[in-house]
């Protein structure tokens, strides 16, 4: 029986490339693993797969009757639909442990590092399996993406070490220029419908029984979205109307290293309190905020009493 390897909903580069790299690792061990993704690849991921000549994985959003391996998440809200009618056989991740449970012992490997690509590099090394150059290239790109070119507080020495080793396998000399090419692709917003922008890198979280959505757009400058703010706000209101307590959108300025946080909430004062900042209109600038996982979500969890 094939095992479908899949990252989270609203797939980012790591969740697509990790599915490919983990499937390759298992195939090298003689197992039948198929890389998949939940929904459309984002522009950054398309650029990365093109650049290294790697095929786009197939779509898979329903786990009923399937064996699946989850990468880059272990939260039910981010997993394929009907997971309880399928069987999770492995999880490889770098986030907090989520709420996926299993009936049988499984392979579970999570490390507090900046990217699933880094965890996979460790697994390849443990197994003594050589990484194909094009796979090394996409793993490297994922680490640059998730760690925002090493600037994110989620970045660890293990991520830097993995990049140093992967770049020589992949034959990439200049990781900064690779990162800038990825940033250009990922921050292209012109002509993109507002809801698509909100969904581009979006996750729902359960906060003490309340549904809270957090999206993030990484930008070279906030000017890129200046003319779209009203439309983005409308998209956030629409998303919130689907049974959410709050919807936040992180407009992250990768160069200035901070985030303008747009907020739609039943309780805006609570969100202000979570970040010790004051809303100016419908957003607030938070200096140094780069990471949803390490900064935004933990502060929200504290405020919600999780």
Of 120 and 282, nearer to Mg ion (C-beta) is: 120
Map residue 127 onto helix, strand or coil. Answer: helix
Per DSSP, what are the bridge partners of residue 219? 253
Question: What mask of x and - would describe binding to Mg ion in positions 121 to 150, judged by CB under 5 A?
Answer: -------------------------x----
Q: Does 72 bind Mg ion (CB under 5 A)?
A: yes
Write down the least CB distance from residue 10 to Mg ion, Å. 9
Q: Does 12 bind Mg ion (CB under 5 A)?
A: yes
Q: Does 10 bind Mg ion (CB under 5 A)?
A: no
Write down the least CB distance from residue 72 to Mg ion, Å. 4
Stretch that binds Mg ion, among 56-64, 112-120, 150-158, 232-240 (CB under 5 A): 112-120
Q: Which two tokens stand for residue 123?
A: 């697994």
Write down the least CB distance from residue 78 to Mg ion, Å. 9
Q: Does 15 bind Mg ion (CB under 5 A)?
A: yes
- CA-based torsion, 136, 141, 142, 144: positive or negative: positive
Nearest residue to Mg ion on Cβ basis: 14
Please name which of 164, 131, 290, 140 lies closest in space to residue 219, comparing C-alpha atoms. Answer: 290
**How many positions of this chain bind Mg ion (CB under 5 A)?**
6
Q: How far is CA 181 from CA 51, 55, 220, 280, 282, in A?
A: 10, 19, 11, 33, 31
Stretch that binds Mg ion, among 32-40, 67-75, 133-141, 223-231 (CB under 5 A): 67-75
Write down the least CB distance from residue 14 to Mg ion, Å. 3
In the chain, DSSP finds a helix count (H) and a strand count (E) of 10, 11
For the chain, how far is it from start to end, CA to CA, in angstroms? 39
Stretch that binds Mg ion, among 32-40, 111-119, 248-256, 273-281 (CB under 5 A): 111-119
Of 213 and 282, nearer to Mg ion (C-beta) is: 213
Stretch that binds Mg ion, among 4-12, 40-48, 104-112, 226-234 (CB under 5 A): 4-12
Write down the least CB distance from residue 304 to Mg ion, Å. 22
Write down the least CB distance from residue 268 to Mg ion, Å. 25
Of 72 and 199, nearer to Mg ion (C-beta) is: 72
| Whole-angstrom distance, CA of residue 144 vs CA of residue 148 | 6
What is the total residue count of the chain?
306
Please name which of 184, 293, 283 lies closest in space to residue 226, comparing C-alpha atoms. Answer: 283
Write down the least CB distance from residue 99 to Mg ion, Å. 17
Q: Please report where in the chains the tokens 């959003």 appear, as a residue.
A: 61
Q: Does 159 bind Mg ion (CB under 5 A)?
A: no
| Whole-angstrom distance, CA of residue 93 vs CA of residue 114 | 10
Please name which of 50, 10, 11 lies closest in space to residue 182, comparing C-alpha atoms. Answer: 50
| Whole-angstrom distance, CA of residue 196 vs CA of residue 175 | 28
Binding site residues, Mg ion, CB under 5 A: 12, 14-15, 72, 116, 146
């Amino acid at each position: 029986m094939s095992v479908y390897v899949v990252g989270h909903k609203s797939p980012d580069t790591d969740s697509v490339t990790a599915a490919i790299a983990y499937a390759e690792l298992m195939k090298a061990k003689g197992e039948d693993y198929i890389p998949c993704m939940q929904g459309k690849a984002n522009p950054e991921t398309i650029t990365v797969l093109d650049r290294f000549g790697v095929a786009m994985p197939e779509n898979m959003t329903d786990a009923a009757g399937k064996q699946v391996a989850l990468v880059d998440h272990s939260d039910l809200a981010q997993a394929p639909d009907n997971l309880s009618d399928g069987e999770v056989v492995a999880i490889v991740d770098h986030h907090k442990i989520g709420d996926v449970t299993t009936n049988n012992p499984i392979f579970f490997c999570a490390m507090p590092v900046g990217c699933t690509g880094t965890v996979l590099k460790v697994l390849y090394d443990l197994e003594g399996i050589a990484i194909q150059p094009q796979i090394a290239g996409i793993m490297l790109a994922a680490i640059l993406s998730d760690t925002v070119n090493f600037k994110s507080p989620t970045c660890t020495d293990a991520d830097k070490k993995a990049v140093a080793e992967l770049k020589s396998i992949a034959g990439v000399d200049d990781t900064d220029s690779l990162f800038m090419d990825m940033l250009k692709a990922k921050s292209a917003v012109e002509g993109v419908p507002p809801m698509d922008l909100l969904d581009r890198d979006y996750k729902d979280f359960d906060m003490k029984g309340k549904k809270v959505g957090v999206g993030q757009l990484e930008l070279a400058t906030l000017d890129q979205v200046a003319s779209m703010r009203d439309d983005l706000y409308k998209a956030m209101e629409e998303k919130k109307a689907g049974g959410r307590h709050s919807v936040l959108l992180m407009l992250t300025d990768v160069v200035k290293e901070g985030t303008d946080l747009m907020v739609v909430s039943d309780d805006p004062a609570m969100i202000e309190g979570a970040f010790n900042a004051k809303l100016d209109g419908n957003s607030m600038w938070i200096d140094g905020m780069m990471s949803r996982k390490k900064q935004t979500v933990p502060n929200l969890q504290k405020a919600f009493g999780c």
